[in-house]
Structure 1
Amino acid sequence: MVGRFPYTGISDTHTNIDTLPIAALLAISSDSVVSQLPGPGSVWDETRSTEQEILLGACRCQLTFNGRPTDGITRTCSQPPQCSAVVAVPTRARIPAHEPPRNVTGICKVHSGRSRTGHEQVFYARALTAQTAETDAIRFLVGTQSLRYDNQIHVIDFDDENNIINKNILLHHAGEIWQISASPADKSVFATCYNKTSDSKVMTCAAVWRIPKELQAGSHESPDDSSSNAQSLELLCHLDNTTHGNMACVTWEPLGDGKKILSLADNHLMIWDLQESSTKSVLSSSAALEGKGQLKFTCGRWNPHHNCMQVATANDTAIRGWDIRTMRQIYCIDNAHGQLVRDLDFNPNKQYYLASCGDDCKVKFWDTRNTNEPVKTLEEHSHWVWSVRYNHSHDQLVLTGSSDSHVILSNMVSISSEPFGHLVDDEDLSDQEEGHDEKTKEPLQDSIIATYEEHEDSVYAVEWSSADPWLFASLSYDGRLVINRVPRALKYNILL
């Protein structure tokens, strides 16, 4: 294999799955997640596979290759719930001659790990963020959801030069994590939305946390470490929503000093100022969503343009823009989607452009100056679309994740800041004015670059790396994290 496992001495032929560490699954490849298998009846050449996987919390049962037992590593599950897993490992798996060549992907149902008492733990996950303030290392944070055990934050590092993945586990005792947002200024600080049970009632709360200092330098646990040795997060402050209802999301001011946070709780929009090294939160301003029925926010996003003085929110099928200086609504798209709006994201390089996705299986792109119709609509998913993200550097690249278990990478170049393949500069304009006999450039065509099918459960989150603009991660509910790169051909086409 091109990559190597950092924790265990995995052989070149057969793999002892019991020696793999416990955390979320990661699949890495050089260009795309999959590698092409040789022809029918041939043996898998492991030197052609560029995948690298770590099973974290993976079930040790019924390991199969493309639905068939692999050589010497099949084991019956002895712990409920029984399940099956499929993992691409460097073993000699033969494909029957009557079957056509197929792609090899790393697939595993992440079911269980060991608690400190030796009992099986079951972790699911839906919260993912890149460590925004970290621009030197490729790092993602994943939050788990468990009703029975202490939940965890997994700090996932990918060493791009050596093709190595490392991880740390931090305990999040507060409750199951629904959303996570990293500070843009301090790489050790992040916020979570989590469930809390009090007086037999479940509340969704929010808090700001700090990664322990000894882990901030990028140290990683050894192969023998487990979640029983994990350190706890340092609680900095709570965002008090006692009188406002359940928290839907938290998001940081994108270009600030990490001292301002937007939170949405039921029908309340709140701006918080963090003081005293983020150990104290003060509600600086708020607004309430008014109208018929029980209106509740589902998601929100800070606009990186206009000096970060605007935010966008979604409730039911509507999208609203707000001026945080006056806390008044500045635009409204009443029926932006046919069903619930799930996520929003602003184009980082082009003002006024906003992407949205929802339960109508659509991804829509809006110009907030004219909201009568979307400027573009994608209908590539077959189920609810949970997450949409613009690439931070190359805004024609758009990621979406859906509960159809697919991740789609789209090239929306016609509505990007580079519709002709490059930014228009003064030299281009002067050439046109001088009447040069050059053909007028037509806007490039939008296209679907790739559909990634490594997940087997709903994909709740997709995120671009803050350190590498060509690398992204996706997270599905079964706890599987998949890291991919933009195809090399497209990368060079954009750069050149």
Structure 2
Amino acid sequence: MRPVSCAHVYVCVRLEEKVDEMSERGPVIYGVEHQGRGFTARALAARSGETEKIQFLCGTQGLRHENQVHMLDYDDDTGVLDRTSFPHPAGEVWDIASCPGDSCLVSTVFSKVGGEDCQGGVGVWRMEGEGEGEGEGGTLQEVCLLTHDGVPKCSVWSPTSSRRQLATVDDKTATLWTLEQASASVQSTVQLDGKGRSHGYCSSCWNPHHNHSQLLVSCDSALHCWDLRSQQMAFSLDAPHGLYDCRTKFWDARKLTTPLLCRQDHSHWIWSVQYNLFHDQLVLTASSDSQVVLSRLPSIASEPLRHIEPDEGEEDEERPPSPMTDDVIRTFEEHEDSVYEAVWSSADAWVFASLSYDGRLVINHVPTQEKFAILTS
């Protein structure tokens, strides 16, 4: 970090005073419902293929009514939130993901009760009819259904926009698919070792290193990283948490003997943790305590923040800024039920959304003061 001159310090002080006088933007709250009927929901994702508009996708869970996928379009300048709903006849949506290479493609992990059985699957859909009118009007055109021997848990698209590849995880296998025009072919399959695990595998994400060839999956209290090319386990982390410890732990995959950082900012289970896509010192966590916590963690960030502290006694000297400390920036309390997801916008670094089980979706902003500190560090 280069030293900052006194002139720069003066400008920063003046801007900080102006920021303090500005009123922070309030939350935008949306209730997931259809024709006056409220839905429960736990699936939320940013529309990752869209880089110009702030858009989010959420899926509903209802046994009595046809489920839906809602696309929310938020205008940050006017504060207006537009909605397009897409009927999802396949059933309840347990997980939803957006394709980075094609913003109209979306995958859902679903379940549907038929007679005495509950059947699950993974579907890839093309959203059609968006933007033709507020509220209703969209349709999900089935591209393909991905077959599994086990019970599907989640789906994650390859982060590389040039690839139309999708990884799915069930309680037995991790499968990498390549999408064609109206079908999908299996590229590789890894038999997961869930022996001794009561609930099997439940969530996954791509390792951003190694050309996105490794998939990290969680299994009860363990984390396993599988290489989809060699079909071997790259590394594993057993029992990283105590029972119900309500903590967030950050690890270096090169040294798994002890966590880099351990935080306890919630009072109940943590369901979602996500780094900011543009500034990885910003971290969102969502919990069953009905809260969303925005934290600043420069000690483990790729570009640690530094704070400029003006000193009138050193006006003619250049002085380096002091490092900022790990801390909670703000706790957001607009939810009244368990918050299952909190995700960053793929188009705006300062906007994020959260979804609680009662179907309340809330859009919030990084506080202006924090945004200013990052941009001037």
- 2:338 partner letter: S
1:261 Cα deviation after fit: 0.8
Match of 1:320 in 2: 224
Instruction: Note if 1:373 corresponds to 2:277.
Output: no
Instruction: Note if 1:271 corresponds to 2:176.
Output: yes
Aligned-partner Cα distance in 2 for 1:56–1:332: 38
Match of 2:338 in 1: 458
- 2:348 partner letter: D
1:331 Cα deviation after fit: 0.8
1:309 Cα deviation after fit: 1.4
Aligned CA distance change for structure 1 residues 438 and 329 (closer, same or farther; 3 Å): farther
Cα deviation code 1:116-143 (max 9, x no counterpart): xxxx634111110010010111100110
Alignment of 1:167-246 (within 5 A): 167-198=83-114, 200-212=116-128, 214-215=129-130, 218-221=131-134, 230-241=137-148, 243=149, 245-246=150-151
Match of 2:246 in 1: 361
Aligned-partner Cα distance in 2 for 1:411–1:418: 12
Check conservation: 2:223, 2:236, Cα contact below 8 A. yes
Check conservation: 1:183, 1:258, Cα contact below 8 A. no
2:295 to 398, 410, 432: 410
2:183 to 273, 280, 286: 280
Check conservation: 2:306, 2:322, Cα contact below 8 A. no
User: When the two structures are superposed, what TM-score results if normalisation uses the length of structure 1?
Assistant: 0.66
Which has the larger strand fraction?
2
SS in structure 2 of the partner of residue 184 of structure 1: coil
Match of 1:425 in 2: none
Cα deviation code 1:381-433 (max 9, x no counterpart): 001100011000000000000010000000011110112539xxxxxxxxxxx
Cα deviation code 1:283-307 (max 9, x no counterpart): 2211122264256111110122221
2:214 to 281, 291, 310: 310
Alignment of 1:50-449 (within 5 A): 53=29, 57=33, 113-114=34-35, 121-198=37-114, 200-212=116-128, 214-215=129-130, 218-221=131-134, 230-241=137-148, 243=149, 245-275=150-180, 277=181, 279-290=182-193, 292-294=195-197, 296-339=200-243, 359-421=244-306, 443-449=323-329
Check conservation: 2:29, 2:361, Cα contact below 8 A. no
SS in structure 2 of the partner of residue 307 of structure 1: helix
- 1:488 partner letter: T
Match of 2:24 in 1: 31
Match of 1:76 in 2: none
Aligned-partner Cα distance in 1 for 2:247–2:207: 22
SS in structure 1 of the partner of residue 251 of structure 2: strand
1:162 Cα deviation after fit: 1.9
Check conservation: 1:32, 1:486, Cα contact below 8 A. no
1:255 Cα deviation after fit: 1.5
Aligned CA distance change for structure 1 residues 294 and 495 (closer, same or farther; 3 Å): closer
Aligned-partner Cα distance in 2 for 1:480–1:30: 24
1:338 Cα deviation after fit: 1.9
The worse-fitting range, judged by mean Cα deviation, of 407-416 and 305-314 is 305-314
Unaligned runs of 5+ in 2: 1-21, 308-316
1:254 Cα deviation after fit: 0.6
- 1:312 partner letter: L
Aligned-partner Cα distance in 2 for 1:122–1:438: 59
Cα deviation code 1:26-49 (max 9, x no counterpart): xxx97353xxxxxxxxxxxxxxxx
Identity %: 41
Check conservation: 2:190, 2:228, Cα contact below 8 A. no
Match of 2:312 in 1: none
Unaligned runs of 5+ in 1: 1-28, 34-50, 58-112, 115-119, 340-358, 423-436
SS in structure 1 of the partner of residue 230 of structure 2: coil
1:280 Cα deviation after fit: 0.7
- 2:146 partner letter: L
1:176 Cα deviation after fit: 0.6
1:478 Cα deviation after fit: 0.6
- May I ask how many residue pairs the two structures share in their alignment? 345
Aligned-partner Cα distance in 2 for 1:487–1:148: 40
Aligned-partner Cα distance in 2 for 1:444–1:292: 44
- 2:141 partner letter: E
Aligned CA distance change for structure 1 residues 488 and 398 (closer, same or farther; 3 Å): same
1:323 Cα deviation after fit: 1.4
1:153 Cα deviation after fit: 0.8
1:56 Cα deviation after fit: 5.2
1:474 Cα deviation after fit: 0.4
Cα deviation code 1:298-326 (max 9, x no counterpart): 11101222211112111011111121111
Give the CA RMSD over aligned residues.
Answer: 2.2
Aligned CA distance change for structure 1 residues 236 and 53 (closer, same or farther; 3 Å): same
Check conservation: 1:121, 1:149, Cα contact below 8 A. no
1:220 Cα deviation after fit: 3.1
Aligned-partner Cα distance in 1 for 2:54–2:47: 8
SS in structure 2 of the partner of residue 491 of structure 1: helix
Cα deviation code 1:151-185 (max 9, x no counterpart): 01111011112221111111000001011000011
1:53 Cα deviation after fit: 5.0
Check conservation: 1:30, 1:485, Cα contact below 8 A. no
Check conservation: 2:30, 2:362, Cα contact below 8 A. no
- 1:402 partner letter: S
Higher relative contact order (CA 8 A, sep 6+): 2
Match of 2:14 in 1: none
Alignment of 1:1-16 (within 5 A): none
